[in-house]
Amino acid sequence: MKHILLIEDDPEISELLCSLLIRENFQVTPLFDGLEGERAALTERYDVIILDIMLPSKDGLEVLRDIRGKVKTPILMLTAKGDDLDRIIGFEMGADDYLPKPFNPRELIARIKALLRRVQIDNSDKSESNTELSINNIVLKTKSREVFIDTKKTELTSTEFNVLSILLAHPNEIISKSDLTEKSLGRKLSIYDRAVDMHVSNLRKKLGDTSIQTIRGIGYMYQSTDD
């Protein structure tokens, strides 16, 4: 049984989500406070963390910042509807996905299952031989899930690694946004969904690389300069 940590201060929303998650055969630990949620995330093992941004004691973005480098658990942020700034900051701090409030509870379940599928795929990849992709000044190791820029190790979130590995595996080929979403996040692209766009933006910043090209209206391409 997969264990979900739900950090949400609204009692009605928390109760609704707990009921729904339990019906889907998830074990749920509901917490209502940012500091309490952070302590739980750092001391217990969970399969997915659902993290609201507006929390007492410590807001969700601060919690995300302080746990992201210490736990590999997929984190799904709950944000206010239309608050793009919170989403952008959340992705920069390492969130894997987000849902704006109000949301369809069934969509939340779909997102959780997608994150779990993605983790399962990532773990199966680790059991295979360590393929190495070397393009331009980037070396990516699939089994150890490490990335090196000019021989210097660069820390990426799990989703950022997935996006980069897909692009590097197909240099100079256009990867549609829908394919990139499905392969990196484990779910289909939905309308107004900018999750992959934000992960690509973060990759550009971390890599200091302009080789990830935006193909307007279609998707992305990693431009190789290697002969």
Residue 69 clears pLDDT 90, i.e. is over it: no
Q: Which of 35-39, 72-76, 88-92 shows the lowest mean pLDDT across its residues?
A: 88-92
Per-range mean pLDDT, top range of 39-53, 97-111, 131-145, 213-227:
39-53
Check if the beta carbon of residue 110 is closer than 8 Å to that of residue 99.
no
Q: Which helix (H) or strand (E) holds 181?
A: helix 177-185
Give residues with Cβ within 8 angstroms of 133, minimum separation 6: 139, 140, 142, 165, 168, 169
- What the block records as the tokens of 185 is 């996040």
Question: Looking at the predicted structure, is the pLDDT value of residue 83 above 90?
Answer: no
**Which of left, alpha, beta for 150 (phi over 0: left; psi -120 to 50: alpha)?**
left
Class level of CATH domain 3-123: alpha beta
Q: Which of 140, 220, 209 is nearest to 179 (CA)?
A: 220
Contact 64, 94 (CB under 8 A): yes
Domain 128-222, classified CATH 1.10.10.10, yes or no: yes
Rounded CA gap, 112 and 4, in Å?
9
Rounded CA Rg of the chain: 18
Task: Indicate whether this model's pTM tops 0.75.
Answer: yes
The answer for residues whose C-beta is within 8 angstroms of residue 104's C-beta and 6 or more apart is none
Question: In the structure, what pLDDT confidence band is assigned to residue 144 with cuts at 50, 70 and 90?
Answer: confident
Average pLDDT over residues 155-176: 93
Name the average pLDDT for the chain. Answer: 90
Q: Do domains 3-123 and 128-222 have the same CATH topology?
A: no
Structural domain boundaries of the chain? 3-123, 128-222
Is 141 strand, coil or helix?
A: strand
Q: Name residues whose C-beta falls within 8 Å of residue 15's C-beta, 6 or more positions apart in sequence.
A: none
